[in-house]
Structure 1
Amino acid sequence: MSRRSITGLRRLMSVTALLLLSLAGTAPAQSREQYTLHVTMAGTGSGTISSPSGIQCGSTCFAKYARGTKVTLTATPDSGSTFQGWSGGLCSGSGDCTVMMFAGAVNVIATFNSASGRSGGASGRSGLQPIIDTLIVRKIEKGGAAGTVTSTPAGIDCGAACQATFPAGTTVTLRALAATGDFVGWSGGGCSGNANACTLTLDASSTIVTATFGAGRRLAIATE
């Protein structure tokens, strides 16, 4: 077999191997969808949350991970505080919290209380664990328009993740970005008008906000 034939055969084998890896779901992690893990600190005490990569909270309380990634969170209380436990992200108890990033953004709450025994939550309401509220974004796209809605703090990335949980009392800013057409406006959940950003405070167990995208701002804003 000639050298040119051998080179061609090697190239064909390389392409075939990459195709088989892709079909088997073992493509490189950077090609997989990314989801945000967000950690909220709650309670009357203080401490830090860490993971092998990405989360160092205090300073960095959210990070993006490829779909299917397993993330282990570890809580370390400061002097004079105790770690009371986890909530959200299917985590509970006071040991390490393991989160599987499968189907969208994940919000985890870590509660630290002062060693004096007082307890509290992120919203200031009494109880060992903070109260969790759900924010749901209903996206309507008309006339071939398309867009995304994201949130600060991280959690909503709609597109893919149109629902997220936050501690009650959290102030969330939603931002709409039209890919094609225009952003027509908001309705529900205390949001209205056609400004690209809407800020709301979560004070109910479930809040639904509708974001409408259309071919032009003359379209009527969807109502509940």
Structure 2
Amino acid sequence: MTAPGKLRVAVIGAGAAGLCAARHLAAHPEAFAPPVVFEASGRVGGTWVYTEETGQSPDGLPIHSSMYRDLRTNLPKEVMAFPDFPFDPSLPSFLHHSDVLAYLESYADHFRVREHVRFSWLVDAVSPAEGAAGGWDVTACRAQDRRVRATERFDAVIVCSGHYSDPFVPPIPGLETFPGRVLHSHEYRCPEPFAGRTVVLLGAGPSGVA
């Protein structure tokens, strides 16, 4: 049972934003009950968890991360760090993605955030709770067995699930008849498969210019 007067908060996602939110909620036990962090995968780090897999993971969930093998940050570590947890000063300013993941894992361990994370729990729905007390009903299921489901009530929900995991391909006339390979940057991992080929890049955002 939640202690009277303490707010119960759900956090969706254990990437950078979710870890930070949970850390600060847990740091104020006078106002908040221990947070509950729902994480669909089996580890912390969110988009910084690199995998060579594309499409779907073995448990049937879409691959969340858009990381590619040789990615380095386009921001220096000096402006990426949480104010109370700096990066290792021996690291270069522009980090390989594996260094960012290691940093987030260290952050989670240092502030004991992992004990609040429910790994492999996928949030299906968040809806306003009925009744005068208000709040939110969060329905989640086990990622490996969607039949195992539970609904819990929270005073507040912080959504930290990111916004770069669902690739968007605009309607381009003639694309459906193009005889070559069409690949969204979400599924790009390394350059070797394109060696010796003529490649056209559409888009000049960070993924296109990197």
- Give the TM-score range, shorter chain: under 0.3
Hey, which of these two has a bigger chunk of helix by percent? 2
TM-score by length of 2: 0.27
Q: Which has the higher strand share?
A: 1
Who wins on radius of gyration, i.e. which is larger?
1
